[in-house]
Amino acid sequence: MKIVAADVVVTSPDRNFVTLKITTDEGITGLGDGTLNGRELSVASYLADHVVPLLIGRDPHRIEDTWQFLYRSAYWRRGPVTMAAIAAVDVALWDIKAKAAGMPLYQLLGGASRNGIMAYGHASGRDSQELFDSIRRHLEMGYRSIRVQTSVPGINAVYGVAAQPSAGGKRYDYEPAQRTALPAEEDWDTRAYLRHLPGVFEAVRGEFGPELPLLHDGHHRMTPIQAAKLGKALEPYDLFWLEDCTPAENQEALRLVRQHTTTPLAIGEVFNTVWDYQTLIREQLIDYVRSAVTHTGGITAMRKLLDYAAQYQIKSGIHGPTDISPVGMAAALHLDLAIHNFGIQEYMQHGPATNEVFRQSFSFTDGYLHPGELPGLGVELDEEAAARFPYQPAYLPFNRLKDGTVHDW
Ligand code: EZ4
Ligand code: CO
């Protein structure tokens, strides 16, 4: 088999997505996701200008060889743009191989290790009543594990709270990137957050009882000692995990946090290679790996990363916000089903226009996801529908402290 074409499709149904479609001389096509929130066109250019010309004529079955060729021949290592582009190629090639085999992709990864994939959803509220309503709504939608994010008195706009007004006055239900010409400015005060959050979890436990798995995302905003303090304060509420408690690039910060708290720690949605985890995994400083298949070099690289983590009883918690396209989500679900050290899968749910552009075959039943039984990933791209939603500039917000200092968002 030979690759005869590779097309980069940029579409913006509910948000921007970058999709690579690889076509073979046998008529089999494969899809890969290269979406990088707020920087989408850089991956589209990397693929169209520098990768597509290298793919034409290659044997699509040689996935490992293609991965190593793209990674090593670029000379420049790692980085979100490069690794998202490599992921798009890698996942498209796995899609092709599984279609050629006539099997759902998870079968080629070793077959199912479980019946379904436990997913968590995003509940949030500006106050406890709104938060409780949101948790109840997520339970009604079928979720059996819930991430809890809340407003903080004295802060106007906080990451992850769907009902708070955002730039342009819209709710940010689906995700925080906004279709604005400039990134929206939000505000932040870590001491106010640390004072407020334990009481919120106490109230949620009081209302919903001890069993419901609860998660929280610190979104990179604390120093190591602040994160240690929060982890300790949340211990009575038995979190499933505390995510991104410190900015992710300093692996050693987690050592300090770990010495102070038994709250499980998750990190890695902004990482893009196994090298970002070297210290974290070897020293068992975390409990869950948060990488996205889309941002970490695809199935090939994620499998190696998760196998490395498995040696240390560290589990998967694959990133699944709405800025991962249905193609990237499908890749995650096939991997989740096959690996032994599965932990949990983030699942936010795409909007109706996205579901029209990407026809999907996964199911979500009683809290569990399943990728379905179609050959390959089980996702088809409706290119006519995609063309009706052209790219729109959009940015994630950023934070400033009260004195104007830029802060992690
Ligand atoms: O802010 O995907 O755990 N999920 C998250 C996400 C990220 C967005 C950034 O593009 O932190 O909501
Ligand atoms: Co996160």
Q: Inform me whether the pLDDT recorded for 174 exceeds 80.
A: no
Question: What is the pLDDT averaged over residues 364-383?
Answer: 98
Tell me which of 158-162, 173-177, 355-359 is least confident.
173-177
Percent of residues, the chain, with pLDDT higher than 70: 98
In the prediction, which pLDDT does 395 show? 94
Ligand in nearest proximity to the CA of 328:
1
Which pLDDT value is given to residue 175? Answer: 72
The reported pLDDT for the residue numbered 179 is 87
Q: Which amino acid belongs to residue 9?
A: V
Q: Which of 344, 341, 379 is nearest to 360 (CA)?
A: 379
User: 163 pLDDT band (50/70/90 cuts)?
Assistant: confident
Distance (Å) from CA 291 to ligand 2 centroid: 10
Q: Residue 357 pLDDT > 90, yes or no?
A: yes
Average pLDDT over residues 146-152: 97
C-alpha span between 169 and 322 (Å, rounded): 20
In 209-301 the beta strands, taken as DSSP E runs, fall at 214-217, 241-243, 265-267, 288-289
Which pLDDT tens digit goes with each residue over 261-272? 999 999 999 999
Ligand 1 in reach of 16 Cβ (< 6 A): no
How does pLDDT run across 30-83, given as a tens digit for each residue? 999 999 999 999 999 999 999 999 999 999 999 999 999 999 999 999 999 999
Whether 323 lines ligand 1, by a CB cut-off of 6 Å, is: yes
Which of these is catalytic: 122, 219, 350, 370?
219
Ligand 1 atom at minimum distance from 321 CA: 2
CA 241 – ligand 2 centroid, Å: 11
**Mean pLDDT (whole number) for 166-192:** 79
CA-CA distances (angstroms) from residue 335 to 2, 248, 292, 331? 26, 24, 11, 6
172 is catalytic: no
φ and ψ of 129, to 5 deg: -65, -45
pLDDT at 178: 86
Q: Is 269 in the pocket of ligand 1 (CB under 6 A)?
A: yes
Residue 53's pLDDT is what?
98
How remote is the CA of residue 62 from the centroid of ligand 1, in Å?
A: 32
Structure tokens at 147: 């991430």
Find the 266 Cα to ligand 2 centroid distance in Å.
9
Encoded tokens for 134: 């949101």
pLDDT score at 164? 78
Q: How far is the CA of 328 from the centre of ligand 1 (A)?
A: 14
> Ligand 1 pocket test: which of 267, 290, 319, 399 has the largest number of ligand atoms within 8 Å of its C-beta?
319
What confidence tens digit (pLDDT) does each residue in 232-289 have?
A: 999 999 999 999 999 989 999 999 999 999 999 999 999 999 999 999 999 999 999 9
3-state secondary structure of 8: strand
Higher-confidence position of 174 and 180? 180
State the average pLDDT over residues 26-33: 98
- 391 is an active site residue: no
Task: Identify each DSSP E strand in 126-219 by its residue range.
Answer: 146-150, 185-187, 214-217
Q: Give the whole-number percent of the chain exceeding pLDDT 90.
A: 94
Q: Please name which ligand lies nearest the alpha carbon of 268.
A: 2
Q: Which two tokens stand for residue 25?
A: 């001389």
Q: Give the DSSP letter string of 346-379.
A: E-----HHHHHHEE---EEETTEEE--SSSBTS-
Residue nearest to atom 5 of ligand 1 (CA): 321
Residue 166 has pLDDT above 90, yes or no: no
pLDDT digits (tens, 9 = 90+) for 83-137: 999 999 999 999 999 999 999 999 999 999 999 999 999 999 999 999 999 999 9
pLDDT digits (tens, 9 = 90+) for 338-347: 999 999 999 9
Q: Tell me the CA–centroid distance for residue 305 and ligand 1, in Å.
A: 20
Question: Closest Cα to residue 11, out of 186, 34, 103?
Answer: 34
Please identify which of the residues 159, 174, 237, 288 carries the catalytic annotation: 159
Atom index in ligand 1 nearest the CA of residue 290 equals 3
Task: Say yes or no: CB of residue 14 within 6 Å of ligand 1.
Answer: no
Least confident of 162-176, 205-219, 290-304: 162-176
What does the CA dihedral 300, 290, 222, 205 come to, rounded to 10 degrees? 180
Measured from the Cα of 346, ligand 1's closest atom is: 3
Question: What distance in Å separates the CA atoms of residue 264 and residue 79, rounded to the nearest whole number?
Answer: 27
